[in-house]
Amino acid sequence: MGKIKSVKFKLNRFEYVKPFHITNNVSYNTENIEVIVELDNGVVGYGEASPSFRVNGEKVPALLGLEQIVNEMIVGMDVRNYRQIFDVTDKLFGAPSIKAAVQYAVLDAFSEEIGVPVYQILGGAKTKIETDYTISIGTIEERVEDARKIVERGHSVIKIKVGENLEEDIQAMMAIYEVSKGCKYIVDANTGYTPKQAVKFVTEIYRAGIDIHVFEQPVAMNDVEGLKYVRWNSPFPVAADESARTKYEVMRLIKEEAVDYINIKLMKSGISDALAIVEMVRAANQRLMLGCMAESSLGVNQSVHFALGTGAFDFHDLDSPLMLKETEFRGKYKVDVPYYYV
């Protein structure tokens, strides 16, 4: 037996170590919602929602209002039949971060109940992954300084935020390269460019002899045609992030041949759609990376186990807990920067 007795939401607030600046958005802190699923035998499972208004249209006060609704949906259901619970909670597509946290808390409770870690329930494909670290938007000097520190800390994959100023971004990219040669780069415009600006960016970087491993979400969220334009005119692989939330959106991107990479984030898709996206993208012979919103160690724990279990990802952009001030580490994984492992 493993029937759900209650689901509780708890608001947790975390400050960023330093302000996090991406296209048209600066964050100083984040409010995440811890989801606690308790079974009738006392077993407890944990999840965390890190909401995004920009990507998911989510606001914390609205999400908190779903606590009772979620209880009505799944109390009494058995976590051993987790796909039944996934099917019910798939209706929460208007609050995908809550869907993710509830679905993961269910898996976590199932895991505790049977004594098998979540990553092995999902297939145990890996035991160790490497996370990148992100340089947010700033002056060229700030970005170069960040790059130096990231290399010093042992990271070999650097994510670079661009998208607010094309000319500065090109200069910044070249300056960062000078202090981080040998690193791999994921460049993320967070919807900031037009298709033509995006192609200019990659063309200039290519001419400078710099390699970009993934060029993320160059254009607007709903511009699938724009993504396709960039993909077909870019020497570097192009990824959808904001454009790839549900499995249905990803199926359309596959059919349109619009991208080379999908960036899965559990906060956009939940566990159920994320599992589907893994299988679809591999069957389409495209590639996967795994990202995060502003999860603490409790939330990134979900992505670490998902990544280890499925083994599906070329790149893991799971640096948010490294950027937040946390009083207690809550992950069921170990950290040896840049590695997460079990």
Nearer to a copy of itself, 86 or 177 (CB): 86
Nearer to a copy of itself, 212 or 271 (CB): 271
Residue 134 corresponds to which tokens in the numbers above?
């992100």
Distance between CA atoms of residues 126 and 74, nearest Å: 31
Distance between CA atoms of residues 66 and 125, nearest Å: 34
Hey, is 70 helix, strand or coil? Answer: helix
Selected binder of a copy of itself within 75, 121, 140, 220 (CB under 8 A)? 121
Least separation in angstroms between CB 102 and a copy of itself: 15
Selected binder of a copy of itself within 1, 17, 114, 337 (CB under 8 A)? 114
Q: Does 200 bind a copy of itself (CB under 8 A)?
A: no
Q: Does 311 bind a copy of itself (CB under 8 A)?
A: yes
Residues numbered 1 to 40 that lie near a copy of itself (CB under 8 A) are none
Cα–Cα separations (whole angstroms), residue 35 to 11, 51, 55, 71:
9, 13, 21, 11
Q: Which residue do the tokens 């000078």 mark?
A: 178
Determine contact, residues 108/46, Cβ cutoff 8 Å: yes
Selected binder of a copy of itself within 101, 250, 289, 304 (CB under 8 A)? 250
Residues contributing to the annotated binding site: 188, 216, 241
Q: Does 80 bind a copy of itself (CB under 8 A)?
A: yes
Q: Does 181 bind a copy of itself (CB under 8 A)?
A: no
Q: Does 43 bind a copy of itself (CB under 8 A)?
A: no
Distance between CA atoms of residues 304 and 333, nearest Å: 8
Q: Does 255 bind a copy of itself (CB under 8 A)?
A: yes
Selected binder of a copy of itself within 1, 17, 26, 116 (CB under 8 A)? 116
Hey, is 220 helix, strand or coil? Answer: coil
User: What does 73-118 look like in DSSP terms, one character per residue?
Assistant: HHTT-BGGGHHHHHHHHGGGTTSHHHHHHHHHHHHHHHHHHHT--H
Least separation in angstroms between CB 67 and a copy of itself: 25
Q: Which residues are catalytic?
A: 161, 265
Selected binder of a copy of itself within 3, 67, 71, 124 (CB under 8 A)? 124
Determine contact, residues 201/218, Cβ cutoff 8 Å: yes
Distance between CA atoms of residues 179 and 256, nearest Å: 38
Stretch that binds a copy of itself, among 36-44, 161-169, 176-184, 308-316 (CB under 8 A): 308-316
Determine contact, residues 304/340, Cβ cutoff 8 Å: yes
> What is the four-CA torsion angle of 164, 169, 170, 174, rounded to 10 degrees?
-170
Nearer to a copy of itself, 153 or 255 (CB): 255
Cβ partners under 8 Å of residue 279, min gap 6: none
Q: Does 120 bind a copy of itself (CB under 8 A)?
A: yes
x-or-dash string of contact with a copy of itself, 273-302, rule CB under 8 A = --xxxxxx-xxxx-----------------
Q: Does 93 bind a copy of itself (CB under 8 A)?
A: no
Q: Does 138 bind a copy of itself (CB under 8 A)?
A: no
Q: Does 87 bind a copy of itself (CB under 8 A)?
A: yes
Element (H, E) at 153: none
Stretch that binds a copy of itself, among 84-92, 161-169, 190-198, 293-301 (CB under 8 A): 84-92
Binding site for a copy of itself (CB under 8 A): 78, 80-84, 86-87, 114-116, 120-125, 247-248, 250-251, 254-255, 275-280, 282-285, 309-311
